[in-house]
Every structure is written in structure tokens, then in C-alpha cells.
Structure 1
Amino acid sequence: MLNHKQCDAFLAVAETGSFEAAAIRLSITASAVTLRVQSLEKNLGHILIVRERPCYVTDAGRSLLNYLQHNRLREQDFLHQLTGQAQSFYTVNIATNADSLATWLLPSIKPCLTQHKIIAHFHVDDQSETHLLMQTGLVNACISAEPRAMQGCIAQPLGQMRYRLVANPEFVNTWFSQGLTREALTHAPAIIYNNKDQLHSNLLLQHFGLSPACYPHHIIPSSSAFAEAIFMGLGFGLVPDHQIEQRLKTGQLIDLMPKLNVEITLYWHHWKQQALALDQLTQHLLQHASENINGAIK
């Protein structure tokens, strides 16, 4: 039998990335967390946590993490059905890219979260990386650009996010007065979300042969601040249509490559067998996402 306290300690470390943070979550000492995890590893005969900064789970730990998270959701289902508690909430962990969270995702799922009393814990990463959080067992479902589902899961298309390379008129007059040329791009400051964001670098590499080392660029890892930096003229960059439609119409922004846009197809990854709350969220999201994703599948 798995020890409940030991499993709680393991879950806390796996989800927070450190023994100290796990101790704060559990209201016990870090040494107590360590002892519980060590006892669990001894009982199972496997190392479950790699002690680094941040900590991460081993293959054996990933299997246990998936098992415990599934059980936690099933336990929530059972208690809800048994007690019929009107005030009880389900908690689900969802990985998403920042642009989805900043634009279409919350309007798409808000009615479901409210109606079915679901609490969402969001984990934000690049759309090419979010499915790795699911593979490691840190989340129950994810929004990803990866079309292939891992074993035991389903990947279903949600829609396409369309991005345009834009800048404000003052920036264009300063840096691109002679057009969007390779020479101009080597001097004009760009705005990039973070080092994992490949959309901008792939676009310039493909069409102008320029790698990020060839041009100056700000790194602003916040969707709202990223867009605002472009709006105020700090640089140019790729922004979702959802955030710039009106500014393009009013001339507050200029599309630098009007004949080209970048489209990213997003997929909802979830387990084939999942708790009732996640099944309700899945059905609602698949039904309503395309209403909110700008440039949904056509």
C-alpha cells in the first residue's frame, strides 16, 4: 500500500520543483518532506526525484505522478457524487501557451469552469513545449502545437492562431523607411517573447537568412507587455490577430509583411480515460474554442 503522507510529499516536490516549496505547501519542515520522499523511494525501490534546482521526476517518478494525479481527480469525482456537495470544486492542472491564455482561452472555458465548479491551475510555456509538461505528469491536459498524442492520450485540433509581423508607424518611419530589407532588419530592434519562442526567428531565417544573433532584440516574457512594447514603438514583432485587429484597421499598427502571416494549429491533449471534470472541460472546449480563436480552422 502506498503511504498517503509520503505520496503527498512526493506530489508537492514534483509540482513545486523543490523540497522547500513543498514544505511550505504541506506546512511541515523541508527535512520532513525529504524523509517522506526517501521512505517512499525505499519502499518502491526506485529513485523518484532528481535532486537538482529545480527538482524533476525520474521515469519511475513520472509513472507515479501520473497515477497519483489521476487518483486525485477520481477521488474528487467520488466525493462529489457521494456527498453531492454544492460548494465542492474540482482542481485541474492545464498547460498552455501564453498567447492563448492572454486571448481566447479564458473566454472559451469560463462558462464551463463556473457551471461545473472547476478550479484551473495554469502552467505557461511555449506551445512547442507544453506537451512535455503533460509527459512529465505535471498537468492533466495541455494546449500544444504538437499534433501527436503520447500513449494513452488523445490530441484534438482546436483551431489556428494567426500572427502578423507588425510595428507602429513611427517605428516603421525610423527603421523601415526604405522597406523591410535584410539590411534594415539587422539594425531594427525586434521583440521576442523568450528564448523558446521560435516563431520570429524562424520567419526571419526563412525569408531573410537572419538568425537571432544577426539582429538586436528585446526579450519580454509577458504576452500583454510584449504586445504593449510593440504598440508603443519599442520594437517590431509577431502578434496574434486577436490582439491587433482594431489597431491595424485604425492605422495604429502596420503589417510589415501583408502577404504573409504565421499560423499555428493548436491541439488539446488529454487522457483517453479522465475524470468527469476534465471530460466536461474537454467537451466544452472542443465545442467553443473555434468561436474565440482568431482565425479558427477554415
Structure 2
Amino acid sequence: MNTDHLRALAAAVDEGTFEAAADLLRISGSAFSQRIKALEKDMGQVLLTRTVPVATTPAGDRVLRLARQVAVLEDDARRSLGRGSGGRTVLRVAVNVDSLATWFVEVLRQAATWDDVALQLQTEDQEHTHELLRSGAVVAAVTERPTPVSGCVSMELGEMGYHAVAASALLDRYRTGGSGDTVGNGQAPVDFGAMPVVDFGTRDNLQRSRLARLGRERGLTLDPPRHVVPDAETYLQAVELGMGWGMFPDAQLPPGVLEGAHPELEAIPELGAAQVQLHWQRWSAGTEALDRLTAAVQQAARHMV
């Protein structure tokens, strides 16, 4: 396979159109189209949809991953031989938002001192970051999946702890029997089928898994209203404001919540805590830059809460 053809494939996906990709590679539109056609003829399959934006076919997904690997390895080899362009090695990495907001900050601190690397982070739920790795969109990912994607290696990082949290006022509104009612000397049970939930995204499964567990224990199907707030800081604020309950990373729990001493927030014992085991998956065919990033991730993960 011609490396120029592989770079054209990656450029088309990154830029979204053939025209923009041709401009990036500083070639004419017709020359760019010829490269893609030649690659597809070599593979014997259509690799790209001619849509806006351009998308890969299933066969294109596999070749795209190869294209990115070849580009990274070729650039690294040129630099090691003193023939590089002087640019930085681009490392595309998938990270779940909770990690990015907590322990992964230390990775950024180290990367800030590297003058030969450009980090491009993509955020996705930890249950789905491996999909970006499999498609070739990234060279490494923080993921829940321990089994390595083909062509990758997997390393255990540690566990992130989460607690179900809600505003006290919200819990009071959804206690069976009405706001402020009690049963005996305790509090009335919460109607978890009606009390809203705050999800980080449509594929955020943490809250769903806690509700499913509780539903199985009680023989119920719990399907409450769901808000979606796809920003880490605003997500925490939404729960604090009483929009719904959510899972807070232990590292971001406000002081006093677990001890019952917070004036506005409470942990929800019925939903309990969750431990999410995280792994670092990366290409097995690595470069010095990817090795350095891996070492930084492993070091930072030691401080995971």
C-alpha cells in the first residue's frame, strides 16, 4: 500500500470533505480523488462514503486504523533519522470526562513540558472509548474494557469510585407520602421510579446500572424522567440545584456529603456506591512519544481516587 494513499484516507476523515483534505495535503482535488480511488482499487472495496462529512465504511474503518498507525510510525522514524519536518507527533487519545476532570490532569501537567507532542483528546463514556480505538480514531484510550482491541495492549490503571448523590430538597419531594413525611423514627422511602435522574450523556450507563440493580432487588421496573447535562462542572451543579440525582466521582464529592453533614446534599444509600475499573489501551506498535504518554498515564493513575 502507498503511504500517500493512506494519508489521503485519514485526511478525508479528519477534514470531512475531499476538497478540504486536498487543501491540507497541498494537492489538487483531482489528484486527491485519484489517491482514494487507487487505495480502494488496491483494497478491492469502497472505503469512504461520498457524503458530507465523509465517513468510513466498515472496511474503511479497518484501513483507517492502519493509515493512522503508518503515519505515526513513518513520522517518528523520520524524526529519529533527523529528516522530520520539525512538527509535533500528534497523539489522539480518548478519555472519559470524569478522568479528564480529576486524575488525568496530572498527565496534562506532564505533557505541557513536551515540545515534540500535540495531544488531541476526545471525550467519551468509559464504556465506549474502546470503539474509538477500534475504529482507528485514537491511538490510546482510557476504557472499562480489559480485553485489548486487536493490535493493542491493555494495562490496568485502577478504580474510580462513585456515589449516588441528590439534593436534600429533591429527596424530600419524592419521599412516599409527600414532602416531609416520615415513617416511625426514620424517613419515608424515596419513589425512585418518579424522581428525575441527571445523565451526563445519552450513553451514560452509571445511573441506569444503579437503578437496574435496585429494581431487581425490589422486583420493579424503574424508569424515571432523565435530564442530560453533557458538561462535567454543570452536571455537578445540576445535581446540586435539585434537577435530579446523579453519580459523583469520589474525587469531586463536596465535603460532608458521605458523613451526612452537608447542608444541601445527601448520599443515597439505597443506590449505594459504584467502583469502575479503568484500563489503558494503546497501540502495541508504539512510538517513543506514545511510550512516554503511557508512562505519564500510569504514574497519574496511581493517584486515582
Common fold by TM > 0.5: yes
User: 222, 233, 248: which one pairs with 2:231?
Assistant: 222
Which structure has more helix as a fraction of its residues?
1
Q: C-alpha distance in 2, partners of 1:36/1:49?
A: 12
| Counterparts in 2 of 1:245 and 1:23: CA distance versus 1, 3 Å | farther
Q: How far did 1:160 drift?
A: 0.8
Q: C-alpha distance in 1, partners of 2:302/2:188?
A: 33
* Residue 233 in structure 1 maps to residue 245 in structure 2: no
User: 270, 279, 297: which one pairs with 2:282?
Assistant: 270
**Matched residue, 1:2:** 2
One-letter amino acid of the structure 1 residue matched with residue 7 of structure 2: D
Q: How far did 1:144 drift?
A: 0.5
What does residue range 25-40 of structure 1 map to in structure 2 within 5 Å? Answer: 34=33, 36-40=35-39
CA RMSD of aligned residues (A): 3.1
**Matched residue, 1:61:** 60
| Counterparts in 2 of 1:259 and 1:49: CA distance versus 1, 3 Å | closer
Normalising by structure 1, we get a TM-score of 0.83
User: 194, 197, 205: which one pairs with 1:190?
Assistant: 197
What does residue range 206-221 of structure 1 map to in structure 2 within 5 Å? Answer: 206-209=213-216, 214-221=223-230
Q: C-alpha distance in 2, partners of 1:23/1:211?
A: 53
Provide Cα deviations, 1:162-184, integer angstroms capped at 9, x if missing partner.
111101233233334555746x2
* Residue 205 in structure 1 maps to residue 212 in structure 2: yes
**Matched residue, 1:284:** 296
**Matched residue, 1:72:** 71
User: 259, 263, 267: which one pairs with 1:255?
Assistant: 267
| Counterparts in 2 of 1:7 and 1:153: CA distance versus 1, 3 Å | closer
8 Å Cα contact 2:104/2:300 also seen in 1: no
Q: How far did 1:97 drift?
A: 1.3
* Secondary structure, aligned partner of 1:167: strand
Gap regions ≥5 residues in structure 1: none
One-letter amino acid of the structure 2 residue matched with residue 120 of structure 1: L
Q: How far did 1:17 drift?
A: 5.3
8 Å Cα contact 1:14/1:138 also seen in 2: no
Gap regions ≥5 residues in structure 2: none
Of 161-170 and 14-23, deviating more is 14-23
8 Å Cα contact 1:89/1:119 also seen in 2: yes
One-letter amino acid of the structure 1 residue matched with residue 56 of structure 2: V
Q: C-alpha distance in 2, partners of 1:53/1:269?
A: 31
Q: C-alpha distance in 2, partners of 1:175/1:30?
A: 61
Structure 1 segments, 4+ long, off by >6 Å, are 27-32
User: 240, 252, 268: which one pairs with 1:243?
Assistant: 252
| Counterparts in 2 of 1:61 and 1:234: CA distance versus 1, 3 Å | same
One-letter amino acid of the structure 2 residue matched with residue 239 of structure 1: F
8 Å Cα contact 2:106/2:300 also seen in 1: no
Q: C-alpha distance in 1, partners of 2:188/2:194?
A: 11
8 Å Cα contact 2:3/2:70 also seen in 1: no
Larger Cα Rg: Structure 1 or Structure 2?
A: 2
Normalising by structure 2, we get a TM-score of 0.81
* Secondary structure, aligned partner of 1:83: coil
Provide Cα deviations, 1:233-280, integer angstroms capped at 9, x if missing partner.
222111111111436266042101288201100000012220110011
One-letter amino acid of the structure 2 residue matched with residue 194 of structure 1: G
8 Å Cα contact 1:109/1:285 also seen in 2: no
| Counterparts in 2 of 1:113 and 1:154: CA distance versus 1, 3 Å | farther
Q: How far did 1:134 drift?
A: 0.8
| Counterparts in 2 of 1:241 and 1:222: CA distance versus 1, 3 Å | same
* Residue 147 in structure 1 maps to residue 146 in structure 2: yes
Of 130-139 and 52-61, deviating more is 52-61
